[in-house]
Structure 1
Amino acid sequence: MKPTAPHAVRWLMSAAPFALTAALTATILVAAPATAAPQTPAACQDAPCPFTDATLPPETRAHDLIGRMTLDEKAQQLGHIAPAIPRLNVPEYNWWNEGLHGVARAGIATVFPQAIGMAASWDPDLMHTVGTTVSTEFRAKYAERVHANGGTDFYRGLTVWSPNINIFRDPRWGRGQETYGEDPFLTGRMGVAYITGLQGDDPAHPRVIATAKHFAVHSGPEEGRHQQDMKPSAHDLEDTYLPAFRAAVTEGQVQSVMCAYNALYDVPACASTELMQEHLRDDWGFKGYVVSDCGAAANIYRQDSLHYTKTAPEAVAIAFKAGMDLICGDYRNNMTTEPDNIVAAVKSGLLSQDVVDRALERLFEARYRLGLMDPISASPYASITPTDYNTPEHRATALKIAQESIVLLKNDNKLLPFNDAVKTIAVIGPNADSYDTLVGNYYGRPTAPVTVLDGLRARFPNAKIIYAEGTGLIGQAQPPVPDDALCLDAKCTKQGLKAEWFTTHEPSGTPASTHTVANATASWSAVDKDSSARFTGYIKAPQDGEYSFRYASENGYRIWIGDKLIVDEWGVGDAPSIASGKITLKAGTIYPIRVEAFQRDATGNQRLVWSTPANNGDDAVAAAKQADAVVFVGGLSARIEGEEMKVEAAGFAGGDRTSLDLPAPQQKLLERVSVTGKPVVLVLMNGSALGINWAKANVPAIVEAWYPGGDGGTAVAGALAGDFSPAGRLPVTFYQSADQLPAFTDYSMTGRTYRYFKDDVLYPFGYGLSYTTFDYSDAALSAPAIKAGDAVTAQVKITNGGGRDSDEVVQLYVKKPGDSANPVLAGFQRVHLKAGESRTVSLALDARALSQVDDKGNRHVLPGRYDISLGGGQPAYAKTVSLPLTITGQIEVAP
C-alpha cells in the first residue's frame, strides 16, 4: 500500500519503476487508461453542489468545495502529492511534473535541445511552437495514465515546473544549462514564448500550467544552495534578476511561480512578502499560485539550512502568510508535505484558516481550469489522444530547433561544410556516441536517439567512418565490459552474470525474478513499482594494471570486486552519476563481482562499463592518421554539470565547475590528434561556456552544439555537411578563464556577463558565424528625437551577400547616457534570406527598453543621447550600423 501523506514523498521519491526483461515485465501490471467519470458525491445527490457544476466559474466551485473540507483534508491538499478525498470525489493529484525541454521522467517523449541550446536559436516564434508541442505531449501522457477518478501519477499531470528563467550570471553554475542564458531581455523573450506555448491562448482552459522558476536570484553555487542568503544590490535585483519574471507574469500570463531555496536579504524566498506579495502580486498583478522548490519550505526551519524559524509549524505559517500556496517536499532533506505541521500551525494560532483557504482556492481554481476535476471527455483538449507524443511531426520540430541552436564559432579556410574530397572521417571523443549529451538533464526518453556518430554515418553513407572514443569526459574511455570477461562461475566456463530483480528500493529479500544476462544489463521504464537489481558473477582481467568501473545508470549503484566495495554511488541527487571506482587487477585472475542498482525514473538501457590499462587514446590517434578530416566531439555532460552532483575530478565541484577549461583528458587527446596534421572540427556538446583558448588558436573549425536533443546527431551532421547554414548565436559569454570572474558566491553583477564585463573574451554574447555573409544598410529611426516615455522604431535593410541561403539574427543594442551596462540588447529578430535576397527588419523600442535602473532600484528614462546599433552581434564584435536618438525629459517606469 502507498503510505499516507507524511511519508508519501519519501515513498514516491524512492520509487524505482522499471520494466527489465520480457520475463520480468510480464510480472508487473500497468493500469490501462481509465475513462470512467467521477460519481456524484453523496452530499450532492439531493441538491446539486456548486463545486460539481461545470458551468460555474472555477472561483465559485473552488470556494464551495473548500468550505466542505475538514482542516485535516485541507492540510493534505497543500502538498505536491494531494491525496484523494473520496467523500467529495476529489481525485488524487501529483503537482510535480517536469518539462524543461520536453516531457521529462514520464517515459518516451520528444526530447528537444536543452534550454540553453534553444536559447541559442534566438527564435521566440519557434520556441512558442516547441511549448505548444510539449503541452500536447503532457496532455497525451495525462490521458494515457489518468485514473478512474481523474487522479494522476508522478510526472503525469498538467502542472509543469518549467521554464527556468534564472539568469545564467556565472558560467560555473551547473544548472545554467536549464536557463536561457545571461541576458534578461533574451531570457524574457524566450521564457514568454515557451510559457504561452505551454499554456495556450485560452487562460480559462490552459493546455497546461507553466511555472516560472526559481523566484528569485537563484543561480548557484549548487553546494550550499540550501543555506545561501543572497544580497544583491537594489540595482542588480531590478536590473538583472527580476525582469524575466516580470515578463513571464505581465506578458506571458504565467499561472504558477516557484519560490527558491535561497534567502534574499535575510528572508527565505518562500517566506518573502517582498517577492511573493510586493513584486509578484502588487507590482505585476500575478493571479496564480506559488509552489515551493522541492525542500525549500523545509529550508525555512531546518538547522542545517536557513533556520529562519525554530519549528516546522512556524515555517509553514510564515510561508503561507507570505504567499506560498503549495509545498513540494523532498526526500533528500526529509521534508514531506507535513500536513500535521499545517494543522498544528492553525490550532496554535500561528496560521489562520483564511490563509489556508486562500492557498487552496488558488490551487483548486487551477485544477478546475485544467479540467482535472471533471471528466476528461469534457475538456476542450479531449481530442488529444494517449498516443500523441513522440510523433514524426513533433520530432521534426525538435530537429528544427536543434538545427537553429547550432553556433559556428570558427571556420578557418572554409573547412566547413565538408566537400567531396573528404572520403574518410575519423570520429573521436567522449561525446561522439553519447546518449547523455543528447538529452542534458530533466529529460524524457527518445525512442531512436541519434548521436553525432549515428548522424555522420547516416549523412555520409559513402564515406569511411572510423570511430574511436579515445577518452572519457574526465578520465579514460569506459566502453562496456565485453561479454567474454564476465562469467557465471569461478572457472569462467560459462559467460554471463546472475541477475536478480526486486520490487524494493534495496535489492534484498526474495527476488521477484532471476535471470542470466550478458553484462549487468537492465532496461528500465515507467511502472508503478519500487525497483532494484543485483548482478553477481565473476570477471577475468585481460592484463595487469589499474582498472576503473562504473555502472552506466540513471540512478544509484554500487560495485564490488572481490570483497572490496570500489564505488558506492547509491545517489541522493536528481542527476545521474558518473562516479567510478578504481582497482588494480592481475592478468588472467578471476575475481568475484557484484553490482547493485536502483531506478526512480523512466530511462533506457544500463550496463557495466570499465577502463582498462589499454585505454590510453592511441586508438584515436591512429584513426586520425587514416582520415581526411577529424570530427572531435567533446565538451561536458549532464553527468558532470548539473544539480547537486558528486563529481570527483579536477575542475568540478558539487555539479558546478571550478574551471572553464576543456577537461584535461579531452584537451590532451585533442592536442595529440591535432599533431597528426589532419584538419580537425571540434564539436562541443555542453550546457555552459568553455574556455577553449588552445582550440581557438589551433583547431580550424569549432561548432557549438549544446545538448541537442533526441535527433541532435542529425542536426550536427547536417551542419557539417552544409545542408543548412548554422545561424545560432551565443546566449552566454565564452570567457577566457574563470580567473577573469568575481567569486562565484558574489551576487553583484559587476564584472559579469557582457553587460558588465570589461576584459577580453573568447567569444562574445550574441556571436555566431555563417556559411554566407550579410550586409546592413539603410538604417533609420521612426523619429530622431522623442520625449521620455514615447516609443520609437528602428529599421534596417539586411542583404544576404553570399552564395547560400541562411538565417541571420538581427540584434539591436542600446547605449544609454550614464548607464554602467552599455550597450544592452533591446531587440532581435531571426530572419531567413535566400542567397542575394534583401529584407527590411523593424524593431520597436518602448519606454522600458530605453530605461535604466538607479542605485536604489528605481527605473527611469533619462534625457540625453542614445546610440542604437543594428547588426549581427554586439557593436564591438560585429559589423553594425548606428543611429543617434535624442530623448528629452524624464519619467519613472513602473517596477
Structure 2
Amino acid sequence: DIYKGLTFWSPNVNIFRDPRWGRGHETYGEDPYLTSRLGVAFVKGLQGDEKYLKIAACAKHFAVHSGPEGLRHEFNAVVSKKDLYETYLPAFEACVKEADVEAVMGAYNRTNDEPCCGSSLLLKDILRGKWQFKGHVVSDCWAIADFHLYHGVTSTATESAALAIKNGCDLNCGNVYLQMLLAYKEGLVTEEDITRAAERLMATRIRLGMFDEECEFNKIPYTMNDCKEHHEVSLMASRKSIVMLRNNGLLPLDKSKLKSIGIIGPNADSELMLKGNYFGTASKYITVLEGIHEAVDSENIRIFYSEGCHLYKDRVQDLAEPDDRMAEAVTVAEHSDVVILCLGLDSSIEGEQGDAGNSDGAGDKLNLNLPGKQQELLEKVIATGKPVIVVLGAGSALTLQGQEENCAAILNAWYPGSFGGRAIADLIFGKCSPSGKLPVTFYKTTEELPEFTDYSMKNRTYRYMKNESLYPFGFGLTYSKVQLSDLSVSD
C-alpha cells in the first residue's frame, strides 16, 4: 500500500532571481529556458509514460515567488507583464504543456495584489484558460489562511475558503476548507464549485491507479529502495553537479607526491552540508573528510583534521573561548603538503523560513559573505603559504571577498548529496573530471543588486545585469583543454 497514491510536491520551478533567497537551491537556477527544460524532464521522469502515473508531480510555487522568506505570508510581488510572461511563467507553462504535470501548487504571496492560491488571473485565466491545465491545484501549507490573517483580502476563514475554491484551488494544505460547508450555507460557493474540485482530485487518484489492484507500480518490492543502482546514480549526480571555479594547475592531486593532507573547516565532516533543506533518508552519508580517507587510506599519506571554526558562531564549543579551534587549524595547515578547506553554509542557516535557524534572514542570506569566522579562517590558512583547495558547500552564490586569487583551487560543491564526500574526492584526485556549470550568476556583492523585495528583472541575472560578475552564468572549468571552432547556427 505504501506505493499507492504517491504525490510529490516537486519540482520547484521558481526563478532564482536573487542570490539572497534561501530556497534558491531547490530550483534549477536563474534562467527561464534552462528551468523549463530541466523541469519538463524531471516531471516526465517522475510521472513515467505507462498506463498509470508512477508519481503525481507538482510544479511549484505558482507563480511569482522567490523571497524574502520572512515576508512570504504577507508579501505582494509587483511584477510587469513583460517579466511575468518572459521570466516567471515559462517553466510552469512548459511543465503543463509539454510534461502534463499532474499538480500545481500556489505560492504564499500575492502577485499584483491577488493571493496566488486564489488568483483569478493565475489560476483561471492563465493556468486553466490559456494553458488548458487538466490536473489539480493545491495550496502551499496554510497559504489560504494567509488571505485573512496577513494579506487582508478577506475577513474570515469562510471567505478565504470560498475565494480559493472558486478561483480553482482544489486542495487545501491546512484546515481552512473545513469552513467549506459554512461557505456553501452562506451562499459564498455553489455545489458545482465543490464538485468540480472533488472531481479533479478524484481524477488524480484514478490516474495513479489507486482503484486498480493490477497497477504495475504496486508490484515494486521495498528492496528497490536505496539499492545499489540508486547509490550509483546518486554518486554520478554528485560528480556531475560540482563546479570547478578555479584551478592554478594544482588539481588533480598526484597521490604519489603527497605525504600529508590537511582537511579543515566547519563543513569538512558535516553530514548536514550534504543534504540541503529537503532530502530523503539515506542509509549512508560520506562527508568530505570520510571521502578523502577512502581515497588515500591505502596510500602512505597522513591526514590531519581540524574543524577550524563553527559554521556561524564565534566558537566551536559553547563553553570555550572565541576562536577555540583557529590555532589548531593553522597548525594543521602548517604540517600539511596541501590543505582542503571546507567552507560555506548548510540548511541550518539557508533554507525555508521556519526550518533554517538564521533568525536575521529567516533562511535567506543577508549578503554573499562567508558567515561567522570562516573568512578569518580562510585568510589565516592562506597565510601559512600552503596550497589551499577551497570546497564550498552552499545552495547559492558566495564570495571569498577577494581571496579567490590566493586559492590554488575552488570547487563549488553545492549540497552534493549522501555520496558528496566521495564525489569531491574523486574530482580532487582525478578519478573524474569536473563538468558542472553554474546555473546562476555569482555576483561580487549584493550592493550591485536591486532591493530583495523588487521583483523587476532589471540588473538581475545574466540576462539583464550590467556589472561584471565574479563568475558568470554557465561558468565551470574542467581538467581538459577544450577548443571550439567552425561554429554555425542553423535556422
The residue number in structure 1 matching 2:11 is 163
Q: Does 1:319 align with 2:27?
A: no
Could you tell me which residue of structure 1 aligns to residue 194 of structure 2?
Answer: 356
Aligned to 1:625: 334
Cα distance, 1:614 vs. partner?
7.2
Q: Give the distance between the partners of 1:779 and 1:466, measured in 2 at CA.
A: 48
Alignment partners' CA distance in 1, 2:335 and 2:261: 8
Q: SS where residue 623 of structure 1 aligns?
A: helix
Q: Does 2:276 align with 1:428?
A: no
Q: Under a length normalisation based on structure 1, what TM-score does the superposition of the two structures give?
A: 0.53
Q: Partners in 1 of 2:366 and 2:313 — Cα distance?
A: 17
- The match for 1:388 is 224
State how far apart, in whole Å, the 2-side matches of 1:262 and 1:453 are. Answer: 41
Secondary structure of 1:693 counterpart: coil
Given that 1:476 and 1:616 are in contact with CA atoms closer than 8 Å, whether structure 2 keeps it comes out as: no
- Say if 1:417 and 1:720, in contact at 8 Å, map to a contact too: yes
Q: For the residues of structure 2 that align with 1:351 and 1:648, how far apart are their CA atoms?
A: 41
2:296: which partner in 1? 460
Query: What is the aligned counterpart of 2:252 among 417, 420, 423?
Result: 417
Aligned equivalent of 2:78, options 227, 231, 242:
231
How much does 1:368 deviate?
1.4
1:684 paired residue number: 392
Compare the two structures and name the one with the higher strand fraction: 1
What SS is found at the alignment partner of 2:61? strand
Task: Tell me, in whole angstroms, the C-alpha distance in 1 between the residues paired with 2:478 and 2:327.
Answer: 34
Q: Distance in 2 between matches of 1:367 and 1:387?
A: 25
Structure 1 counterpart of 2:273: 437
Matched, 1:367 2:186: no
- Of structures 1 and 2, the one with the larger relative CO (CA 8 A, separation 6+) is 2
Query: How much does 1:774 deviate?
Result: 1.1
Task: Tell whether the 8 Å contact from 2:36 to 2:90 is kept in structure 1 after alignment.
Answer: yes
| 1:10-49 superposed matches below 5 A | none
Q: Which amino acid aligns with 1:159?
A: T
CA deviation profile, 1:699-744 (whole Å, cap 9, x unmatched): 1210000000000100000000011110100000000001110000
Q: Once the 2 structures are TM-superposed, how far is the Cα of residue 778 of structure 1 from its aligned partner? A: 2.3
What CA distance in whole angstroms lies between the structure 1 residues aligned with 2:292 and 2:286?
10
Which of 627, 640, 645 is the aligned partner of 2:349?
Answer: 640
- Do the aligned partners of 1:169 and 1:749 also contact (CA within 8 Å) in 2? yes
Matches of residues 368-767 of structure 1 in structure 2 within 5 Å? Answer: 368-375=206-213, 378-412=214-248, 414-419=249-254, 420-461=256-297, 462=299, 463-476=301-314, 478=316, 547=318, 611=320, 615-645=324-354, 647=357, 652-767=360-475
Residues 106-131 of structure 1, C-alpha deviations (whole Å, 9 max, x = no match): xxxxxxxxxxxxxxxxxxxxxxxxxx
- Alignment of 1:173 onto 2:173: no
For the residues of structure 1 that align with 2:190 and 2:258, how far apart are their CA atoms? Answer: 73
CA pair 670-368 structure 1, distance change in 2 beyond 3 A: same
Cα deviation, 1:483-517, whole Å, max 9, x if unaligned, reads xxxxxxxxxxxxxxxxxxxxxxxxxxxxxxxxxxx
1:685 alignment partner AA:
G
Percent identity for Structure 1 against Structure 2: 47
Offset of residue 264 of structure 1: 1.0
CA distance 1:477–1:422, change in 2 (3 Å):
farther
Deviation track 1:777-828 (CA, whole Å, cap 9, x = no partner) reads: 222233xxxxxxxxx2xxxxxxxxxxxxxxxxxxxxxxxxxxxxxxxxxxxx
Partner of 1:297: 144
Instruction: With the length of structure 2 as denominator, give the TM-score of the two structures.
Output: 0.96
Matched, 1:288 2:135: yes
Q: What amino acid is aligned across from residue 679 of structure 1 in structure 2?
A: P
SS at 1:396's partner residue? helix
Structure 1 residue identity aligned to 2:482: F
- Map 1:57-72 onto structure 2 (within 5 A): none
Residues 468/616 of structure 1: CA separation in 2 closer, same or farther (3 Å cut): closer
SS in 2 for 1:696: helix
Cα offset, 1:318, TM superposition: 1.3
Query: How big is the shift at 1:337?
Result: 4.7
Cα RMSD between the aligned structures? Answer: 1.5
What are the Cα deviations for residues 598-634 of structure 1, in whole angstroms up to 9, with x where unaligned? xxxxxxxxxxxxx556724111111001100000001
* Distance in 2 (alpha carbons) for counterparts of 1:450 and 1:477: 25
Amino acid at match of 1:199: Q
Instruction: Map residues 211-290 of structure 1 onto 2, 5 A cutoff.
Output: 211-290=58-137
Equivalents in 2 of 1:456, 1:390: separation in Å?
23
1:728-780 deviation per Cα after TM superposition (whole angstroms, max 9, x unaligned): 00000000001110000000100100100000110000000110111112222
SS at the partner of 1:300?
A: helix
| Contact 2:148–2:155, Cα closer than 8 Å, also in 1 | yes
Q: Distance in 1 between matches of 2:181 and 2:454?
A: 39
Between structures 1 and 2, the one with greater helix share: 2
Residue 285 of structure 1 deviates from its aligned partner by 1.6
In 2, Cα distance between the equivalents of 1:726 and 1:715? 10
Distance in 2 separating the partners of 1:418 and 1:779: 34
Counterparts of 1:692 and 1:624, CA distance in 2: 19
1:190 maps to 38
Question: Which amino acid counterpart does residue 713 of structure 1 have in structure 2?
Answer: G
Letter in 2 for 1:630: V
Could you tell me which residue of structure 2 aligns to residue 770 of structure 1? 478
Contact 1:470 1:477 in 2 (8 A): no
Q: State the secondary structure of the residue aligned to 1:775.
A: coil
SS where residue 223 of structure 1 aligns?
A: helix
Q: Is the 8 A contact 2:145 2:176 kept in 1?
A: no
1:358 counterpart letter in structure 2: R
SS at match of 1:382: helix
2:154 aligns with one of 306, 309, 312? 309
What letter corresponds to residue 266 of structure 1 in structure 2?
D
Contact 2:435 2:476 in 1 (8 A): yes
Shift of 1:348: 1.1
8 Å CA contact 1:469–1:477 kept in 2: the answer is no
Distance 1:691 1:667 in 2: 10
What is the letter of the counterpart of residue 171 of structure 2? L
For 1:687 and 1:208, the matched residues in 2 are separated by 26
Aligned length: 487
Corresponding residue for 1:590?
Answer: none
Distance in 2 of aligned mates of 1:779 and 1:736: 32
Structure 1 residues 777 and 614, CA, compared in 2 at 3 Å: closer, same or farther? Answer: closer
Write the distance in 2 (CA, Å) between the matches of 1:648 and 1:251. 38
Aligned equivalents of 1:648 and 1:218: distance in 2?
A: 20
Structure 2 counterpart SS, 1:459? helix
Q: Distance in 1 between matches of 2:445 and 2:191?
A: 54
- Deviation readout 1:366-418 (Å, 9 max, x if unpaired): 1111122343xx21213311222111101100110110001010001x11000
Equivalent-residue separation in structure 2 for 1:267 and 1:698 (angstroms): 49
Whole-Å Cα distance in 2 between the matches of residues 448 and 641 of structure 1? 23
| Contact 1:726–1:769 (8 Å) recurs in 2 | yes
Give the Cα separation in 2 of the matches to 1:733 and 1:218: 19
Contact 2:309–2:323 under 8 Å retained in 1: no
Contact 1:161 1:213 (8 Å CA) reproduced: yes
Deviation at 1:477, TM superposition (A): 5.0
